[in-house]
Chain A
Amino acid sequence: MLRRLAPPDMQPASFAFNAANAEWAQKEIAKYPPGRQASAVIALLWRGQEQEGWVTHPMIESVAQMLSMPFIRVLEVATFYTMFNLVPVGTYLVQVCTTTPCMLAGSDAVVEACKKHIHPHPHTVSADGKFSWMEVECLGACVNAPMLQIDKDFYEDLDGPITEKLLEDLRAGRAVKPGPQNARHTSEPSGGATTLTDPSLFDGSMIGRQKRGQAAADADRDAPTQKPPGAAS
């Protein structure tokens, strides 16, 4: 996908870090030796994106000036990393994983749900301004595939209807629970656990047992085999 700055009519007139972020930025810049301030560019853009929701044209120039970098160098960084949003995003940015495991597990239905409930096109804010969605590469939750990320939370074990309900709940302002959206507990097998099911494993009776067992085994090994000489084998 071509990554370019959003058209001028979308761009805000200016950018400035708020007081807290500006103070944080100075600390971040101070981490690097003099002349190497440019090393802070990703951190600053990331914090800028957290503040504004996306990386704007004035933000790129402002960060460049803070770090004494040519504008083009910051633009290169902003366009290289797909984690930087170059267009406005909704209140909830829905990032749908479509890499192989998720795709095999049905991420197409999740994408369809996003198309239906948010916007037919990715990177486009929904009519009510609450959502935008995009496809992303593997987010590392393949065991709970398919999944999506909203802001900093993972919503896992999705299918079409669950995704639609999740989005509707968010739109209506109802509370949603991150993590697996079916009955599954974290990344346990979906039908319940198949191993480690013995309750004694969890009642405390096992504590120290292995150690004791090991000591007994050691004692067995170290003990000399005492057999009287000439005894029949």
Chain B
Amino acid sequence: MGTRKLIIDGKEVEAEETITLLQACEQAGAEIPRFCFHERLSVAGNCRMCLVEWVGAPKPQASCALQVKDIFPNKDGTPAKINTASPYALKAREGVMEFLLINHPLDCPICDQGGECDLQDQAMGYGRAAFHRFNENKRAVEDKYMGPLIKTIMTRCIQCTRCVRFATEVAGVPDLGATGRGEDMEITTYLEKAFASELSGNVVDLCPVGALTSKPYAFNARPWELRKTESIDVMDAQGSNIRVDARGPQVMRVLPRLNETVNEEWISDKARHACDGLVRQRLDRPYVRINGKLKPASWAEAFAAIAAKVRGTTPAKMAAVVGDLAAAEEIKALKDLMTSLGVANLDCRQDGAKIEGGPRQTYLFNTTIAGVEAADAILLVGTNPRWDAPVLNARIRKTWLAGPLKVANIGPAVDLTYPVEQLGTDIAVLAAIANGSHPFAKVLKDAKRPMIILGSGLLTRADGAAALSLAARIAGDSGMIGPAGTAAEGGWNGFNILHTAASRVAALDLGFVPGQGGRDVAGIVDGAQKGEIDFIYLLGADEFDVAHLGRAFVVYQGSHGDAGAHHADVILPGAAYTEKEGTYVNFEGRVQRAERAVFPPGEAKEDWAILRALSDHLGARLPYDDRAQLRAAMVKDVPHFAQIGEVPVHADTSSATWNGIGAQGNLDESLPVTRGIADYYLTNPIARASETMARCSQELVHGATKMAAE
């Protein structure tokens, strides 16, 4: 890859030949305005805002569509001269801006993009002085329906086609298009159906003007009123980096934050739009069940009720379950509390996944998210990555677009936005690949960097342990397991578990699994029904069979009045993920910190603090008084909790580790492989409390048609 000398604004620079002139100018420190150009999308070159002067060229050049390798030197051999701020370039841009504004309405005071609008900013920076020469009528365009998340005001559209390119290239759902031509060109979905992608919200971020705005956030707040907090998403286990925008006590919206190794700059619709669930169904004060009815109580009364019950039972009859959204801090606090009480019936696998704690690399997504881009064959088992981790699915699609990638799927056939060889739902196929009799076994063997991705549809099977051990055998046999780390670091590990619960990896790291002789979730439910368990502590756990806990005394600590709270005897109001400083570990094993954006409502408290207070009442005081001490204790248990933002490298490639995964056993061939999540939009208490998610579920999952009123 060569470089080429350019003189940009009088400064001689060396630019790589593969980049565009726009990028070269930016590297040289120049600011180039643009609307249609986007680093992650194909080049359209249609807005013309990035015009620069190439001295000697007959016309201004669209720098986004001009590659450095196409810029030849001057006749005398001196490097080509590019001016980004010469009067010639500025005049060219002024002309472009004038044309853009001819048809753009003066909507700014009533436009949701106001204050964060590229057109607004660039009109200030690169537009003509404040008068205009056109008195004709502006173009009017009918608004289009694009689904429950995207509001359209199409007169504002400047036809940059970023949204069309995003839908086609990144989301892989080619629903958007530009119909008509010239002045009558319109951006629309096919026959105004909803844009059926789990990443649809990103077009709102991409839109440089106010044509596509967020429907749930419409007219809610102005960007300058919002307090911006960097946080981590918990709607899936990918740990997407987000920015939480809050005004006063309320989270107004969630936006993605750039992190090349995790989510690039995309987030899923659930991460973005479930935030209206944060103000509904909230538990804002403790409750105690008296005579079969939940009555408001004080913290002291609630703790006293729990203490009374704990005193009346034995550790063998107590149990604790961690929910899907818990942060590492409260998992650690609950683990320490229960361990000091002598309780062994602990579990974090609400869905019944057959993953034991064990060495860390046996339950991680070892390839890492960025590492997926090096893969050349992927076997998906029991997972629908489009729902389990939409942003990861976009990464797989990106890999498929970039080069030869073979993907096969064992599980129900779904459209994953890239071609997938459907191997059926028969678990016997997995066995056939393991013993080499299936043709895909050869594909995996011949691949340079093969991957296997195991989802909850496989792990939660009754024979999950046996299936897991088969999968580990496939990984070993096809050379998926090398020294840990990505291919770039000289190794490859293609064995991947795709978790869907944000708390899962942290809980497994901290060992929140049944202790010696302890019961797992199924055992706890069974024991509760038989009367062998009579005290259950639910830390935000709503996703298992909480309705059938028999006569057990249930303590529910969590943020939302969901299934768990309905069956609780004592409710302790906790904080949601935007209301606490939490540590989360994503499915790659990346430890990330979320900051607090708002305070918990009412009397609700941070979860680890509740457990610390409760421990006093139970006579088993936890040995930390503040978050720093708690985190120090976490790091002492699990050293990699100190490596914030990184994926610790696990160099263990010994066959003993990999042969130890799962358990030998017979497969139940009558059981088809499922795909895990049943309804993408309703996977956790926050999403279930969200009206937006309910609407999405109705329209996009259950196919209800839009209401006539909309």
Which residues from chain A sit less than 8 Å from chain B, CB to CB?
1-5, 70-73, 75-76, 79-80
A131 to B144: give the CA distance in the assembly, Å: 33
Of the residues B175, B176, B177, B180, contact of A3 by C-beta under 8 Å = B180
B184 touches A76 (CB 8 A): no
A71 cross-chain contacts in B, Cβ below 8 A: 190-191
B190 touches A72 (CB 8 A): yes
B178 touches A70 (CB 8 A): no
**Contacts A5-B191, A72-B189 given; 12 further ones with Cβ under 8 A?**
A2-B186, A3-B179, A3-B180, A3-B181, A3-B184, A4-B180, A71-B190, A72-B176, A72-B190, A76-B178, A79-B179, A79-B181
Size range of the chain B interface in the assembly: 10 to 19
Minimum CB distance partner of B184 in chain A: A2
Could you give 13 example pairs across A and B, Cβ below 8 Å?
A: A2-B184, A3-B180, A3-B181, A4-B180, A5-B191, A70-B174, A70-B175, A72-B176, A72-B177, A72-B190, A76-B178, A79-B179, A79-B180
A80 cross-chain contacts in B, Cβ below 8 A: 179-181
Closest 3 CB pairs of A and B: A72-B177, A70-B174, A79-B179
Minimum CB distance partner of B179 in chain A: A79
A4 to B184: give the CA distance in the assembly, Å: 10
A5 to B189: give the CA distance in the assembly, Å: 13
Closest beta carbon of chain B to A34's beta carbon, Å: 13
A75 touches B177 (CB 8 A): yes
Minimum CB distance partner of A70 in chain B: B174
A76 cross-chain contacts in B, Cβ below 8 A: 177-179
A106 to B511: give the CA distance in the assembly, Å: 89
B179 touches A75 (CB 8 A): yes
A70 to B195: give the CA distance in the assembly, Å: 13
A79 cross-chain contacts in B, Cβ below 8 A: 179-181
* Chain B 93-106 near chain A by CB (<8 Å), digits 1 or 0: 00000000000000
Closest beta carbon of chain A to B174's beta carbon, Å: 4
Count, A-B residue pairs, CB within 8 A: 38
Which residues from chain B sit less than 8 Å from chain A, CB to CB?
174-181, 184, 186, 188-191
B175, B176, B180 — which one has the most chain A CB atoms within 10 A of its CB? Answer: B180
Of the residues A1, A70, A72, A75, contact of B184 by C-beta under 8 Å = A1
Minimum CB distance partner of B168 in chain A: A70
B180 touches A72 (CB 8 A): no
Closest beta carbon of chain A to B103's beta carbon, Å: 15
A1 to B174: give the CA distance in the assembly, Å: 25
Minimum CB distance partner of B176 in chain A: A72
A72 touches B175 (CB 8 A): yes
Of the residues B177, B181, B184, B191, contact of A73 by C-beta under 8 Å = B177
B179 touches A4 (CB 8 A): yes
A3 cross-chain contacts in B, Cβ below 8 A: 179-181, 184
Minimum CB distance partner of B141 in chain A: A2
A72 cross-chain contacts in B, Cβ below 8 A: 174-177, 188-190
Minimum CB distance partner of A81 in chain B: B181
Of the residues B180, B186, B188, B190, contact of A70 by C-beta under 8 Å = B190
Minimum CB distance partner of B181 in chain A: A80
Of the residues A2, A4, A5, A73, contact of B174 by C-beta under 8 Å = A73
A75 to B189: give the CA distance in the assembly, Å: 10
Minimum CB distance partner of A76 in chain B: B177
A57 to B175: give the CA distance in the assembly, Å: 16
Minimum CB distance partner of A2 in chain B: B184
A4 to B176: give the CA distance in the assembly, Å: 15
Closest beta carbon of chain A to B194's beta carbon, Å: 13
Closest beta carbon of chain B to A152's beta carbon, Å: 24
A5, A71, A72 — which one has the most chain B CB atoms within 10 A of its CB? Answer: A72
A70 cross-chain contacts in B, Cβ below 8 A: 174-175, 177, 190
B181 cross-chain contacts in A, Cβ below 8 A: 3, 79-80
A71 to B178: give the CA distance in the assembly, Å: 12
A76 to B184: give the CA distance in the assembly, Å: 12
A5 to B186: give the CA distance in the assembly, Å: 13
Closest beta carbon of chain A to B532's beta carbon, Å: 57
Closest beta carbon of chain A to B526's beta carbon, Å: 50
Closest beta carbon of chain B to A4's beta carbon, Å: 7
Closest beta carbon of chain B to A86's beta carbon, Å: 10
B186 cross-chain contacts in A, Cβ below 8 A: 2
Closest beta carbon of chain B to A122's beta carbon, Å: 16
Closest beta carbon of chain B to A37's beta carbon, Å: 15
A1 cross-chain contacts in B, Cβ below 8 A: 184
Closest beta carbon of chain B to A96's beta carbon, Å: 20
A2 to B190: give the CA distance in the assembly, Å: 16
Closest beta carbon of chain B to A68's beta carbon, Å: 11
Closest beta carbon of chain B to A15's beta carbon, Å: 16
Minimum CB distance partner of A64 in chain B: B190
B180 cross-chain contacts in A, Cβ below 8 A: 2-4, 79-80
Minimum CB distance partner of B189 in chain A: A72
B190 cross-chain contacts in A, Cβ below 8 A: 70-72, 75
Closest beta carbon of chain B to A6's beta carbon, Å: 12
B188 cross-chain contacts in A, Cβ below 8 A: 72
A4 to B178: give the CA distance in the assembly, Å: 12
Closest beta carbon of chain A to B401's beta carbon, Å: 13
Closest beta carbon of chain A to B478's beta carbon, Å: 28
A4 cross-chain contacts in B, Cβ below 8 A: 179-180
A2 cross-chain contacts in B, Cβ below 8 A: 180, 184, 186
B176 cross-chain contacts in A, Cβ below 8 A: 72
Minimum CB distance partner of B188 in chain A: A72
Minimum CB distance partner of A82 in chain B: B181
Minimum CB distance partner of A57 in chain B: B191
A71 to B196: give the CA distance in the assembly, Å: 14
A4 to B144: give the CA distance in the assembly, Å: 13
A1 to B182: give the CA distance in the assembly, Å: 10
